[in-house]
Each structure stands twice: as structure tokens, then as C-alpha cells.
Amino acid sequence: KEIDNNYMRIIEEHLLSGSYTAIASHDHNIIEKVKEFAEKHHINHNQFEFQMLYGFRTDMQLSLAKEGYKMRVYVPFGNDWFGYFMRRMAERPQNVAFALKGFFSK
């Protein structure tokens, strides 16, 4: 909870400063909070983008794009793609649940 609150604080600070902001998260709570914050503060959709890894929360990626938000999808590649993928999993336990759900829903 403390990490999420701090992440939102940083996102809000960036958005209010007028800086272009990249919001890298698969967490629907964070994404909804960003959308609400942007609407409340009249922040244009062109000032920020959501970012997710390929294969995670595809339904949410499509939904965000249909709602008019910028959506950047990252595809790990190269010699160490698996290491990169595993580090993303280790950074946040919820990522493992997202990965498993995506894997078994295909």
C-alpha cells in the first residue's frame, strides 16, 4: 500500500507539473486512480500514456485505447528477454498473478 501511494504521489506530481508522464502499471486500481485524477484536474489525454508488457492485461490495454488513452505495449526481446521478464515478475508479486492469469486464459 505504501509503494502504491508513493507511486500515485509521483504520478500526480508529474501530471500537475505539465510533464509528459508514462504510467507503467498493470494494476487496475492505479490506472483508475490516474484516470480519475486526470479528469478531476482537466489533464489532457495527450499529456500521459499507460504502459504495459505484451501479454499482460490485454483486455485492459484494448479498453484504455478505446477510451482514448495512449497505450504503449512493451515486448521484451534480445538475448536477455527472459531475465528482463523475470525481474518484472520479481519486482511486484501481483505481476505473477497477472502472468499466470494471462498464460492460462489463452
Digit-coded pLDDT (tens) for 57-71: 899 999 999 999 999
Tell which CATH architecture fits domain 2-104: 3-Layer(aba) Sandwich (3.40)
Higher per-residue pLDDT: 7 or 89: 7
| Cβ 4 vs Cβ 31: under 8 Å | no
| Cβ 23 vs Cβ 30: under 8 Å | yes
Digit-coded pLDDT (tens) for 18-41: 999 999 998 999 999 999 999 999
Q: Which residues pair with 22 in a beta bridge?
A: 49
The percent of residues in the chain predicted with pLDDT above 90, rounded, is 59
Report helix, strand or coil for 49.
strand
- If you ran DSSP here, which 8-state letter would residue 99 be given? H
Provide Rg for the chain, Cα atoms. Answer: 14
Q: Could you tell me the pTM of the whole model?
A: 0.76
Higher per-residue pLDDT: 38 or 84: 38
